[in-house]
């Protein structure tokens, strides 16, 4: 039996695609937006009063690590999807560094089936660029796309051989898939544990130079130029990388980029007294880099804000800083961080935040949605811009707990998440 149509009544609808920022009603029918207007209602509709809340096209995190298959003790597709909807994300794209690696259609299909069983966020697999993520032989992009892959990436590892990267970009054009690249020069990274600089020297940790990233960024942009392929730069972290992307866009090269909340808000000094919750790759950088990234999200150089949600077991992150793995969680902290630290502070307007969290990532991955126009999927994130909350890792739905933002009180939070016209998360039901 079909579900009754739903009216979300009285929300401030923020839709950057339609150029709309006004109080409107939304009518949801059979999983899609049926109408946007004032006072709309048909007999039999179920009315949900959302006055005072912001209704945005459902947020999409294009860079997460769900660890399943093979590393379920860190995260499963189900626990990751639960964290996603609690964080306001109606869709996510999960990286290929599972065990086995997602380099075959069977693994891609398995991840999609696990997501369907969870029935929460839409989970879109990203397949490996190279077989086994070894950087040698290109994966079968066509078969992987047919199985449901929306992009290819060896994220967690760079494709070091430029000839292999060129072939991957050429092959990706045939299948209209973006190549998402983790830009790092491993020979320069060495045994580094945090960003190279004055603070690393002060606390005695081996550093990763900024050149490790921007050399790879500039190489890959050059390869994108000669192949005409779509290149997406994951987790920009340096001023020089952002400048390279800006120049590439101005030259008409098909390059897009993302930035994470932690690189937009924190600097290398967050490592403090060897806090492994501030250990991620690329590492936190200097204040000048952070300011350059803020400019990049304000002027359109960066196309998306993505979390790089990378859960690890608590025991792993309790190791000494040098031995602990890189990576933190982000799905359940990203939206309030963006609302307070970027929107309320005046760095970007709310519509730009919605574009970076919803419209941009969907356009890069070729996914439907990212707007609230009639006919679009009824994937909606409801926000309360005035409500305050405190980040408490113990309450996370993710199996990961490592975040440098624990204990931080923020204004602005996710109230509810709707996927396909169905409420899959409600803050009031989860207190």
Based on the fold, state whether residues 265 and 399 are members of the same structural domain: no
Bond from prior residue into 282 cis (ω within 30 degrees of 0): yes
Out of 328, 346, 365, pick the residue that ends a domain.
365
Whether the CA torsion 388, 340, 383, 280 is positive or negative: it is: negative
Count of residues in the chain: 431
Based on the fold, state whether residues 405 and 321 are members of the same structural domain: no
Based on the fold, state whether residues 213 and 328 are members of the same structural domain: yes
Structure tokens at 347: 């760095």
- Residue 370 resides in a domain: no
- Residue 261 resides in a domain: yes
Q: CATH number of the domain that 27 lies in?
A: 2.30.40.10
Name the nearest CA neighbour of 104 among 79, 72, 69: 69
DSSP string, 220-233: HHHHHHHHT--EEE
Out of 343, 365, 387, pick the residue that ends a domain.
365
Q: Are 115 and 142 in contact (CB under 8 A)?
A: no
CA 252 to CA 230: how far, in whole Å? 11
Q: Are 289 and 214 in contact (CB under 8 A)?
A: no
CA 278 to CA 313: how far, in whole Å? 15
CA 110 to CA 257: how far, in whole Å? 28
Based on the fold, state whether residues 48 and 69 are members of the same structural domain: no
- Residue 1 resides in a domain: no
The beta-strand segments (E) located in 235-379 are 255-259, 304-305
Structure tokens at 46: 């179920």
* Backbone φ, ψ for residue 272 (5° rounding): 50, -125
Based on the fold, state whether residues 25 and 120 are members of the same structural domain: no
- Residue 371 resides in a domain: no
pLDDT in tens, the chain (431 residues): 568 999 999 999 999 999 999 999 999 999 999 999 999 988 899 999 999 999 999 999 999 999 999 999 999 999 999 999 999 999 999 999 999 999 999 999 999 999 999 999 999 999 999 999 999 999 999 999 999 999 999 999 999 999 999 999 999 999 999 999 999 999 999 999 999 999 999 999 999 999 999 999 999 999 999 999 999 999 999 999 999 999 999 999 999 999 999 999 999 999 999 999 999 999 999 999 999 999 999 999 999 999 999 999 999 999 999 999 999 999 999 999 999 999 999 999 999 999 999 999 999 999 999 999 999 999 999 999 999 999 999 999 999 999 999 999 999 999 999 999 999 999 876 54
Q: CATH number of the domain that 244 lies in?
A: 3.20.20.140
Based on the fold, state whether residues 66 and 110 are members of the same structural domain: yes
Name the nearest CA neighbour of 181 among 166, 197, 196: 166
Based on the fold, state whether residues 120 and 203 are members of the same structural domain: yes
CA 362 to CA 383: how far, in whole Å? 20
Number of domains in the chain: 2
Domain extent at residue 85: 58-365
DSSP string, 227-258: HT--EEE-S--SHHHHHHHHHHHHTT--EEEE
Based on the fold, state whether residues 11 and 82 are members of the same structural domain: no
Helix (H, G, I), strand (E, B) or coil at 163: helix
Based on the fold, state whether residues 342 and 423 are members of the same structural domain: no
**Pair type for strands 6-15 and 46-49:** parallel
Based on the fold, state whether residues 272 and 415 are members of the same structural domain: no
Q: Are 232 and 256 in contact (CB under 8 A)?
A: yes
- Residue 194 resides in a domain: yes
Bond from prior residue into 262 cis (ω within 30 degrees of 0): no
Out of 317, 337, 365, pick the residue that ends a domain.
365
- Residue 151 resides in a domain: yes
Q: Which residues does the annotation mark as catalytic?
A: 308
DSSP string, 60-90: EEEEE---TTT-TTT--HHHHHHHHHHTTEE
Based on the fold, state whether residues 176 and 40 are members of the same structural domain: no
Residue 80, Cα to own-chain centre: how many angstroms? 13
Structure tokens at 262: 């932690």
CA 392 to CA 379: how far, in whole Å? 26
Q: How far is CA 377 from CA 90, 114, 207, 359, 373, in A?
A: 11, 21, 45, 13, 9
Based on the fold, state whether residues 316 and 397 are members of the same structural domain: no
Q: Which residues contact 343 (CB under 8 A, 6 or more apart)?
A: 349, 350, 353, 385, 412
CA 235 to CA 218: how far, in whole Å? 14
């Amino acid at each position: 039996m079909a579900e009754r149509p739903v009216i979300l009544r009285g929300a401030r609808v923020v839709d950057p695609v339609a150029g709309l920022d006004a109080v409107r009603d939304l009518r949801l029918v059979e999983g899609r937006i049926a109408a946007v207007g004032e006072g709309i209602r048909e007999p039999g509709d179920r009315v949900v009063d959302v006055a005072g809340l912001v209704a945005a096209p459902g947020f999409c995190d294009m860079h997460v690590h769900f660890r399943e298959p093979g590393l379920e003790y860190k995260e499963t597709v189900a626990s990751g999807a639960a964290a996603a909807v609690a964080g306001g994300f109606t869709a996510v794209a999960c990286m290929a560094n599972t065990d086995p690696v997602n380099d075959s259609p069977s693994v891609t299909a398995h991840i999609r089936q696990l997501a369907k069983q969870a029935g929460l966020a839409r989970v879109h697999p990203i397949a490996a660029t190279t077989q086994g993520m070894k950087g040698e032989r290109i994966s079968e992009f066509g078969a992987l796309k047919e199985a449901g892959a929306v992009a290819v990436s060896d994220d967690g590892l760079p494709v070091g051989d430029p000839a292999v990267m060129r072939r991957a970009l050429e092959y990706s054009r045939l299948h209209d898939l973006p190549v998402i690249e983790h830009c790092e020069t491993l020979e320069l990274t060495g045994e580094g544990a945090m960003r190279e600089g004055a603070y690393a020297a002060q606390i005695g940790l081996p550093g990763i130079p900024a050149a490790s990233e921007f050399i790879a960024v500039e190489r890959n942009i050059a390869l994108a130029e000669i192949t005409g392929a779509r290149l997406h730069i994951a987790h920009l972290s340096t001023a020089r990388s952002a400048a390279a992307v800006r120049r590439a866009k101005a030259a008409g090269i098909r390059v897009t980029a993302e930035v994470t909340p932690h690189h937009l808000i924190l600097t290398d000094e967050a490592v403090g007294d060897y806090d492994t919750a501030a250990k991620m790759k690329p590492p936190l950088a200097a204040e000048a880099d952070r300011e350059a990234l803020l400019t990049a999200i304000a002027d359109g150089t960066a196309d998306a804000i993505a979390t790089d949600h990378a859960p690890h077991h608590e025991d792993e992150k309790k190791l000494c800083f040098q031995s602990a793995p890189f990576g933190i969680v982000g799905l359940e902290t990203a939206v309030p961080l963006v609302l307070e630290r970027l929107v309320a502070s005046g760095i970007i307007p709310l519509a730009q935040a919605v574009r970076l969290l919803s419209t941009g990532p969907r356009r890069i991955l070729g996914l439907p949605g990212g707007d609230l126009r009639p006919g679009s999927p009824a994937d909606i994130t409801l926000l309360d811009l005035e409500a305050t909350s405190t980040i408490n890792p113990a309450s996370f739905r993710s199996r990961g707990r490592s975040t440098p933002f624990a204990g931080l009180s923020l204004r602005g939070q996710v109230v509810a998440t709707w996927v396909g016209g169905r409420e899959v998360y409600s803050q009031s039901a989860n207190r």
